[in-house]
Structure 1
Amino acid sequence: MSESSQTPPFDRPRSVVKMFLARHQQEGDGAVVRRCIGRNELKFLDPFLMLDHFSVTPPAGFPDHPHRGFETVTYMLQGAMTHQDFAGHKGTIGTGDVQWMTAGRGIVHSEMPAGEGVSNGLQLWINLSSRDKMIEPSYQELLSDEIVRAEEDGVEVRVIAGESMGVRSPVHTRTPTIFLDFTLKPRAQVHQSIPASWNSFVYVIEGEGVFGSSNSAAVAAHHVLVLGPGDGLSAWNRSSKRLRFVLIGGQPLDEPVAQYGPFVMNTQAEINKTIEDYQYCKNGFELARSWRSQ
């Protein structure tokens, strides 16, 4: 992966087809997010519904709210968040930890910062296929030291989902997904394969990097880069500081999407039914009748 090797090892390297800065907006109860997917520039990238880079300082947070029809992936970059839901599940994830929640037919939960100071991280929403939208809710949680990683020639990768540099995550993804956290030292480069039929994008967390083509301009932190078709992504760090970014890709579902806030189904009729189920605490939302987070 030396800097002298400029030719990507792909027959069809993926290029950047769209790029924009994820700007701050208010969400939850006093929280601030940089919304990457789910905004005017990029409303949807099948199978991804939303990506937020959130920043929360107590007493702000994300109090009791419902979900149905998709999965949420919360990856902590700094601080800690405490999660609890109406089925009795409760836990705290800290820096480097991951919670992969399948909301399925319905969950009501809260996500609030634990301790003082700023907590920030990424939350990704992944759509579920029509056959999986009404499955029972479930969780997969990985502590930071349980996340598989690899390091070579100035490149470190933490594999949240999928495979990279010869290591594979144990996380089961109902919608086939890769979620890779790369850190490149100065002068390092990486070439990551991506299944040709998948959609993919990059979010730059820290530093600046060159993506797609070695003669492209460097891209700074907090930019979103949507990748075009091809076999894989190449990235170079030509700066004097480290570069950190996530590469996320997934197999498109190619199904209609009907969304009303935290409910994602295939038709408006299913959305109307979901709203009714939530309002009347039935068909998966029975426990919402009396539950409140502590």
Structure 2
Amino acid sequence: MNAKKVSAVKKAEGSGAEVKRLFPNRNHNGFHDPFVLLDEFFVEPPNEFAPHEHRGFEAITYMLEGHFTHEDNLDNKATVGPGGIQAFNAGKGITHSEKPGKEGLSRGIQLWVNLPQNKKKSEPSYQFIEADKINEKENDNLIIREIADDNSELILNTKITYLDIKAKNDTSFHHNLDSGEVSVIYLIKGKIEGEYGLEAGEGLLVEAGENISLTLKKDSRLIFLRAKAHNQEIKLRGSFVE
């Protein structure tokens, strides 16, 4: 399997929040087209992400624990709980804030996906999906939540597969990428053994068309992403993707 192993880097974001950023960071100062950024974030009140502007990409926030309130200049305001999703298309420009629940830790995954060039000036929009609306599949060894795929309620401008995978036992996970498809794997918890051993907070940027084979230890949990590259330059300028 042709892939690059990357370790997430801790950094401060917002007003007192902390993230573990898989990319871009000092270990991989680049992207994985069409994926622009992947953070595991940690924030407790009174810390927050104060109002700020975005444009040129779509952001998906998937909550692992706690609550998160989104408010924007389109008059959207919603609070997502554990296992829920909120997403926005920044399009030609959106201003929003994000605040944790009133007590305890709010933790989740935020993913930025580049917009195709012909969607860069699209109207901004917001989506909110409760945890019980997300499809979940289970077999003897794995629990798989389908955050984004053909059966998901999440509507995006870029077709992606986004899975939350939990290992009930020592087991394996296999997936073959189509030509032009890339993948990102981020280990939230546990351990992956084999050709590319991973600990929590590490990930793989898998090249197009590869056959993915992972050996998961019991109770491991990972994020699996798949998409076809846009093959357009990603220009990250602060909170904008040109």
Q: For residues 83-134 of structure 1, what are the alpha-carbon distances to aligned partners after superposition, in whole Å with 9 as ceiling and x for unaligned? A: 1011210000010001121111111000010221110000001000111011
Q: Distance in 2 between matches of 1:230 and 1:251?
A: 10
Q: Distance in 1 between matches of 2:66 and 2:238?
A: 27
The 5-angstrom pairing of residues 98-113 of structure 1 reads: 98-113=85-100
2:2–2:210 CA contact under 8 A, matched in 1: no
2:7–2:27 CA contact under 8 A, matched in 1: no
Match of 2:240 in 1: 263
Q: Highest Rg: 1 or 2?
A: 1
Match of 1:71 in 2: 58
Match of 2:25 in 1: 39
CA separation of 1:256/1:229 partners in 2, compared to 1, >3 Å: closer, same or farther?
closer
Match of 1:120 among 103, 107, 132: 107
The 5-angstrom pairing of residues 111-190 of structure 1 reads: 111-162=98-149, 168-190=151-173
| Aligned length, in residue pairs | 241
CA separation of 1:231/1:172 partners in 2, compared to 1, >3 Å: closer, same or farther?
farther
Match of 1:243 in 2: 220
SS in 2 for 1:145: helix
Percent identity over paired residues: 36
Bigger strand fraction:
2
Q: For residues 225-267 of structure 1, what are the alpha-carbon distances to aligned partners after superposition, in whole Å with 9 as ceiling and x for unaligned? A: 1113335422222x3x4110011122211112333111111xx
Task: Structure 2 unaligned segments of length 5 or more: list them.
Answer: none
SS in 2 for 1:180: strand
SS in 2 for 1:246: strand
1:16–1:225 CA contact under 8 A, matched in 2: no
Q: Distance in 1 between matches of 2:132 and 2:188?
A: 21
> 1:40 deviation in Å?
2.6
Match of 1:26 in 2: 12
> 1:169 deviation in Å?
1.7
1:193–1:233 CA contact under 8 A, matched in 2: yes
2:9–2:25 CA contact under 8 A, matched in 1: no
Task: Structure 1 unaligned segments of length 5 or more: list them.
Answer: 1-14, 266-294
TM-score by length of 2: 0.94
> 1:53 deviation in Å?
0.4
Greater shift in the superposed pair: 185-194 or 59-68: 185-194
The 5-angstrom pairing of residues 55-70 of structure 1 reads: 55-70=42-57
